[in-house]
Amino acid sequence: MFKILRKEVLTPQTKLFVVEAPLIATKVEPGQFVVLRIDEKGERIPLTVADFDREKGTLTLIFQEVGKTTYHLGTLNEGDAILDLVGPLGRPSEIENFGKVACVGGGIGIAPVYPIARALKAAGNEVISIIGARSKDLLILEKEMAEVSHEIYVTTDDGSYGKKAFVTQELERLIKEGYRFAFAIGIGPVPMMKAFALVTTRYAIPAKVSLNPIMVDGTGMCGVCRVSVSGVTRFACVDGPEFDASEVDFDLLTARQRIYCEEERQSLERYQQSKCGGCERE
Amino acid sequence: MNEERAKPKVSPKREPMTRQDPHVRRHNFEEVALGYTEEQAVREAQRCLSCKKKPCVSGCPVEIEIPEFVKFIAERRFQEAIDKIHEKNSLPAICGRVCPQEDQCEKMCILGKKWEPLAIGRLERFVADYEMRKGEINIPKLPTPTGKKVAVVGSGPAGLTLAGDLAKMGHHVVIFEALHAPGGVLVYGIPEFRLPKEIVRKEVEYIKKLGVEVVTNFVVGKTRTIEELLRDGFDAVFVGAGAGLPYFMNIPGENLNGVYSANEFLTRSNLMKAYLFPEYDTPIKVGRRVAVVGGGNVAMDSARTAMRLGGEEVYCVYRRSRAEMPAREEEIENALEEGMILKELTNPVRIIGDENGWVREIECIKMKLGEPDSSGRRRPVPIEGSEFRLGVDVVVIAIGQGPNPLIPSTTPGLKTTKWGNIIAEEQTGATSLEGVFAGGDIVTGAATVILAMGAGRRAARAIDEYLRKK
């Protein structure tokens, strides 16, 4: 069992947990992820590690409530425990002193960008961060990102906060203004990463994206997370999750993320009904 | 009774085992073979000739004293029978169900020269179940602890067997399992209807009662490396991580939605209990028509699972002929009885999808058998122009599994073959690294439960010797 030591509600649908997981905390590096299962009947889902404290033996997990499992997870509180948590999985981000780097995070993708930006800064890079969300109330980790960045730009799709733009438009604007990025990392929803790949490819900037396909075991055993990278099938769980942005087949990723759309909807409806039923009985 | 001419005391035919009706079992996940009653077991055990040479024992990879335990059954001394098996085999309820006895002990049985061989597997299962039903399991006396610690990577058949053996030798054993439940392929691979998970759980309980510690959610190579485990104070490490890397065919369309590796398909159903969706959260897609590609036991398990999940037309697409299918004959028969449609001498060439990226059809080519290849089996050759399409909703690729690269890639100095299998001495499991042993599918490539157990048994002896010298 993995105890939840702290819970923070970042936005109405985005929660942060600090979880006790000393073994994983001693080994995890930026870019890696964990797989968790809430309880005996739960499914296994991957979550990128948003932060870690080796001394305290804790991991920070940030997730958005989108399906049954994440909604259920969001109902857990400090003192509750997650049944299974395994990691650290996947390859760590390659942290080098590149020079000037762009760290681009969209929506929930800001969470995994944060430890990478911090590590890049610690490695001596000039970190230019661009973060964004659909609207102001969905924006997370602005303060934390500002602390690990030399410059930070904030956008929202609807203009409710920061600049009304997509993060990738802001990235392109900076490049046009003369920012010479030696490296860029972009994490967020697939359409954002696809646009990020287009921009970085257009300006020949070496760039990575972190992919989030469906996973089960997370150790290369099942192959459900297969993605196409420069035409070759790779397993995101062991070969990734980061790949060269220009080489990823994002359309395939989008299609494969939708495999269980119908079941996910069914599962969520059933869960919400059962919760309402529970209220009535009380 | 049967014709009693030559040997009036011995029936030429074995006691049949009751099985669920195929039409019924096709729709449920309950165990197919129901096991012997006491009467049946005693009658079957009485068929044993108790021959002096005991050829059956030489056919058993873990050298169970077969005639002895069978004699106990014939005398209705069931507890003594299971105690006898436990001396050599820590997992009898599992072996009695999934060992290919027809190629091992039963193949050597003298009775089999003229008649049907003794049903050794069924008898093993009977006494193992007898003890489980009784509720309390006899634990053998354990020796004084040696103070030596052994780490075992993977809780499948090789690791469990080795752990049990080493515990009985007085060593402290810790098994590290990457998944959330112990058992390896016994829980993620082999379906409930062939090996109930409750049985696996009880066998693991037995191993734990011997003093073995089982740590789940621990990925050796990630959570800790083998080097670190040795530094943490383990005196030896055994790697039994299994064949956890699914092979695909590298044909067009394999990444379409609805194409599964057998590993994924079976893991969802078995480990994650997707057959109980939505009560359990993990979903699985089956649709109406399913093509399972491959002819081994994993393919049979996949096809039979697909039927139970509601698949109406379930094809087994196999490139050689039925005679060459590597699956156990019994499993092929079970699958066919349940309605699996065998497309032998058929090889997929591509999978065709619809505009949304979902599987629609699988295009296959007919094959004929040519000259024997390196495996001695006749090589299948495509018949030009014989392409045809099967309309399917789901494709399960069950053409084999390779060694998972996680351990070799994180263990400097650990030598592997060009296919990524760990190189280990057959008799000892010793690898290129001192104190590191390996066995089971990660060494041999995908094989059987009992072969992995045999490797675990031999490695346990070698590790014991190594620890005593150290």
B100 falls in which pLDDT band (50, 70, 90)? confident
- Most A CBs within 10 A among B180, B228, B270, hence the mutation to make, goes to B180
Chain B residues touching A91 at Cβ < 8 A: none
Contacts of A133 (CB under 8 A, 6+ apart): A106, A107, A110, A139, A140, A156, A157
Of all residues in chain B, the one with the smallest CA distance to A215 is B264
List the single range of B110-114, B308-312, B371-375 with lowest mean pLDDT. B371-375
A282 falls in which pLDDT band (50, 70, 90)? very low
DSSP letters for B116-178: PPP-HHHHHHHHHHHHHHHS--PPPPPPPP---EEEEE--SHHHHHHHHHHHHTT-EEEEE-S
One-letter amino acid for residue A125 of the chain:
N
Of all residues in chain B, the one with the smallest CA distance to A264 is B283
The A84-89 sheet, strands edge to edge: A81-82, A2-11, A14-20, A58-64, A45-53, A33-37, A84-89
Residue A255: pLDDT above 50?
yes
pTM comes to 0.93
Burial pattern B335-365, b for ≥16 Cβ within 10 A else e, equals: bbbbbbebbbbbbbebbebeeebbbbbbbbb
Of all residues in chain A, the one with the smallest CA distance to B258 is A259
Contacts of B269 (CB under 8 A, 6+ apart): B191, B275, B284, B305, B309
- On whether the CB atoms of residues B177 and B215 are closer than 8 A, the answer is yes
Chain B residues touching A256 at Cβ < 8 A: 255, 257, 357
- On whether the CB atoms of residues A263 and B272 are closer than 8 A, the answer is no
Strand intervals (E) in B374-425: 378-382, 388-391, 394-397, 401-402
- On whether the CB atoms of residues A235 and A225 are closer than 8 A, the answer is yes
- Most B CBs within 10 A among A219, A248, A249, A250, hence the mutation to make, goes to A219
- On whether the CB atoms of residues B297 and B327 are closer than 8 A, the answer is yes
Q: Do B180 and A259 touch (CB under 8 A)?
A: no
d(Cα B325, Cα B100) in Å, to the nearest integer? 14
Chain A residues touching B404 at Cβ < 8 A: 219-221
Chain A: closest CA distance from residue B239 (Å): 16
Per-residue pLDDT, B445: 86
Q: Do B216 and A84 touch (CB under 8 A)?
A: yes
* Tokens of residue A266, six digits: 């069914």
Closest CA to A92 of A66, A123, A116, A110: A116
Q: What is the mean pLDDT of chain A?
A: 94
Contacts of B9 (CB under 8 A, 6+ apart): B46
| pLDDT tens digits, one per residue of A72-125 | 999 999 999 999 999 999 999 999 999 999 999 999 999 999 999 999 999 999
Q: Do A87 and B222 touch (CB under 8 A)?
A: yes
- On whether the CB atoms of residues B138 and B86 are closer than 8 A, the answer is yes
Which of A85, A222, A263 lies at the smallest CB-CB distance from B261?
Answer: A222
Q: Do A221 and B267 touch (CB under 8 A)?
A: yes
Closest CA to B256 of A234, A192, A255: A255
- For B335, phi then psi, to 5°, come to -65, -45
Q: Do B272 and A44 touch (CB under 8 A)?
A: yes
Which SS3 state, helix, strand or coil, does residue A272 take?
Answer: helix
| pLDDT tens digits, one per residue of A203-225 | 999 999 999 999 999 999 999 99
CB pairs under 8 A between A and B: 116
Q: Do A23 and B281 touch (CB under 8 A)?
A: no
Chain A: closest CA distance from residue B357 (Å): 6
Cis status, amide bond into B196, omega within 30 of 0: no
d(Cα A213, Cα A241) in Å, to the nearest integer? 9
| Mean pLDDT of all residues in A173-199 | 97
Which of A84, A222, A252 lies at the smallest CB-CB distance from B246?
Answer: A222
Which of A41, A68, A86 lies at the smallest CB-CB distance from B279?
Answer: A41
A276 falls in which pLDDT band (50, 70, 90)? low
d(Cα A111, Cα A108) in Å, to the nearest integer? 6
Which of A217, A256, A267 lies at the smallest CB-CB distance from B281?
Answer: A267
Residue B39: in which H helix or E strand, if any?
A: helix B38-45
| Domains of chain A, each with CATH number or no CATH | 2-89 (2.40.30.10), 100-257 (3.40.50.80)
A280 falls in which pLDDT band (50, 70, 90)? very low
